[in-house]
Amino acid sequence: MEQRLTLVTLGVADLDRAIAFYDALGWQRSVKDAPGIAFYQTGSVAFGLYPRAELAKDAGVSPDGSGFRGFALAHNLRTREEVDATLAEAEVAGATVIKPAEEAFWGGYSGYFADLDGFLWEVAWNPGFPLDEDGAVTLPD
């Protein structure tokens, strides 16, 4: 299996509400003619929003589930100040800041917000993970 991630799809309770949130963050949709789903280009990978029940149905699993989803997304920035500003921007868009940014044991600066469906986004500055001008991360060996 090639070392590749093509799409991360979040299953949301209310698609229009979720789109409005990512709109408020300034994100632009692609594949705008696809009904009932929203796609965003995020670097080499796509990000999708799809109704939670539909996502479970597509995979053939029960939609029942609660609590911690066991994963987190992260959005890295180039400075501590940008981390604080992005958390504030997310809060204005309707997110809940569940952990204000603080110095991290691994040498960076990081906080978390939860989107309207409770999905966790870490917002971080990590001096060990450089971002290129397009925002792509390049991991050290």
Q: Under the criterion CB under 8 A, does residue 21 sit at the interface with a second copy?
A: no
Q: How many residues bind a second copy (CB under 8 A)?
A: 74
Closer of 86 and 109 to a second copy (Cβ):
86
CB 59 within 8 Å of CB 53: no
DSSP assignment, residue 99?
A: E
Residue 83 burial (10 A CB sphere; 0-12, 13-18, 19+): buried
Which residues ranging from 52 to 71 are in contact with a second copy (CB under 8 A)? 52, 55-56, 58-71
Q: What does DSSP say about strands 45-51 and 96-103: parallel, antiparallel, or unpaired?
A: unpaired
We find the least distance from the C-beta atom of residue 91 to a second copy, in angstroms, to be 11
We find the least distance from the C-beta atom of residue 3 to a second copy, in angstroms, to be 5
We find the least distance from the C-beta atom of residue 82 to a second copy, in angstroms, to be 9
Residue 22's alpha-carbon distances to 51, 86, 92, in angstroms, are 15, 13, 12
Q: How far apart are CA 124 and CA 122, in angstroms?
A: 6
We find the least distance from the C-beta atom of residue 99 to a second copy, in angstroms, to be 5
Which residues ranging from 80 to 99 are in contact with a second copy (CB under 8 A)? 86, 89-90, 93, 98-99
Q: Under the criterion CB under 8 A, does residue 124 sit at the interface with a second copy?
A: yes
